[in-house]
Amino acid sequence: MRLGQLREKLGDRVSVEWKAFLLRSEPRERPMAAFTEYTSSWGRPASMEPGAVFRFPWSGEHRPPSHSIPSAVAAKAVEAVDPERAGDFRRELFDAYFRRNLTISDPEVLGELAAAAGVDTDRFAEALDRRHAEFESQVMADHAEAVSIGVTGVPAVLMADRFIIPGAVETSLYERLVAKFAGGAQGGV
């Protein structure tokens, strides 16, 4: 949300390229109690992001996601079939996970989110089916790249191809850093 606001405010000085970073790369069911306890930590980012709504701890109505790959692959599929809706799809993913506590590793849920974002669900499903290995390879390459430059969690922002900002930070900090580090840099943030 903040990066979108920053892009609106600063225009061409900022470009945003989303990359996958896997918090959980292997499928593994998690006990509800442990996952619910983990989601209690969402209080800090919830307090810092007034434009987002967080529901925590996890409601328990839906099982926790098993891993990060399905949603990251789905995001790559949306980028491929309808790049104009990629941001809408990411917002649907965030809302589904953080506010509605949905299982975003479930293919049916991902299809519903694509539809809610306005993506042609037939094209989305076909791309997932036909190009799944390609998208998963892209996700793994994004993740490897992030690890190689020192990213250890999300959110993380790489500014001017050299400066990593880890964690949720205020929009004003992004603005100051753009002025300092990317003001004259090619490619912006």
Residue 189 has pLDDT above 60, yes or no: no
Condensed to tens digits (0 to 9), the pLDDT of residues 15-24 reads 888 999 999 9
Strand partners, 163: 159
47: helix, strand or coil: helix
Domain regions of the chain by residue span: 1-19+151-189, 22-143
Question: Where is average pLDDT lowest: 37-51, 80-94, 148-162?
Answer: 37-51
What pLDDT sits at residue 141?
A: 98
Q: Which residues fall within 8 angstroms of residue 2, CB to CB, at 6 or more apart?
A: 49, 51, 169, 170, 171, 174
pTM: 0.89
Structure-token pair, residue 30? 């998690």
Question: Where is average pLDDT lowest: 27-31, 47-51, 94-98, 121-125?
Answer: 47-51
What pLDDT sits at residue 1?
A: 60
Residue 185 has pLDDT above 50, yes or no: no
Residue in 142, 123, 118, 20 with CA at minimum distance from that of residue 70 = 20
Residue 115's Cβ-side half-sphere holds a number of Cα atoms within 13 Å equal to: 9
What pLDDT sits at residue 182?
A: 61
Report residue 183's pLDDT band, with 50, 70 and 90 as the boundaries. Answer: low
Q: Which residues fall within 8 angstroms of residue 128, CB to CB, at 6 or more apart?
A: 73, 74, 77, 107, 135
The percentage of residues in the chain with a pLDDT greater than 70, rounded to a whole number, is 95
Architecture of the structural domain at 22-143? 3-Layer(aba) Sandwich (3.40)
Residue with tokens 């839906």: 62
Condensed to tens digits (0 to 9), the pLDDT of residues 27-59 reads 998 899 999 999 998 888 788 777 778 999 999
- What distance in Å separates the CA atoms of residue 10 and residue 178, rounded to the nearest whole number? 9
Q: Which residues fall within 8 angstroms of residue 93, CB to CB, at 6 or more apart?
A: 71, 74, 75, 104, 113
